[in-house]
Amino acid sequence: MSNRNVSRFVFAIAGLCLLGHILGCSHSTSPSDNTSAARGVLKVMGVEYGNFAAEHGEKPPSNKEELVDFLETRKDRIRGLNSVDQLFTSPRDNQPLVIFYGSEMPPADESGYPVVAHEAVGESGRLLATNTRGGVTEISQGEIPSYFGSTQ
């Protein structure tokens, strides 16, 4: 094949790929896309929860309504956020996040920051969890008590 024909072939393949992308030949979302999206949601939730605690004497929100009210005042600062409701559901398992509410912060994890939210169901027995600095880690259902202590 001549260089000219190779160039035409490469150009044609690139054009078909671009057309497929534009037309959306696949409407499904891959599990890795859902995991990335879930990590993003949990990261933002963790950071904003940490901001709440920092502004309230290192105390957690006492209930969901208190956290929602706080997030509403900050939603314009969070890129890509249409509604604070987006921060309360994991895109990976489509379940509401389990978020710690109470009068005292849960114990710190190995990073030195408390884990404050995790997925309800997760994927393949593993749950994504976040701390107050937005650090996201994967844990098992059995590890939840070690992060939340007896406070959850």
The pTM score is 0.77
- Local structure of residue 114 (DSSP, 8 states): B
pLDDT of residue 149: 67
On average, the pLDDT of the chain sits at 82
> Closest by alpha carbon to 131, among 150, 97, 108, 104?
108
Q: Please identify which residue in the block is written with the tokens 């940490």.
A: 50
Domain boundaries, the chain: 29-151
Distant-in-sequence, close-in-space partners of 125: CB < 8 Å, separation ≥ 6: 140, 141
Residue 49, pLDDT score: 98
Q: What is the DSSP letter of 105?
A: P
Three-class secondary structure assignment of 3-56? HHHHHHHHHHHHHHHHHHHHHCCCCCCCHHHHHHHHHHHHHHHHHHHHHHHHHC
Straight-line distance from the first to the last Cα atom of the chain, in angstroms, rounded to the nearest whole number: 67
- Report the chain's C-alpha Rg in angstroms: 21
Pull the structure tokens for residue 102.
Answer: 């109470």
Structure confidence by residue, pLDDT tens digits, 73-127: 999 988 888 899 999 999 999 999 999 999 999 988 888 999 999 999 999 999 9
Distance (Å, whole) CA 103 – CA 83: 26
**What does the alpha-carbon distance between residue 134 and residue 39 come to, in Å, rounded to a whole number?**
9
- Residues forming a β-bridge with 115: 131
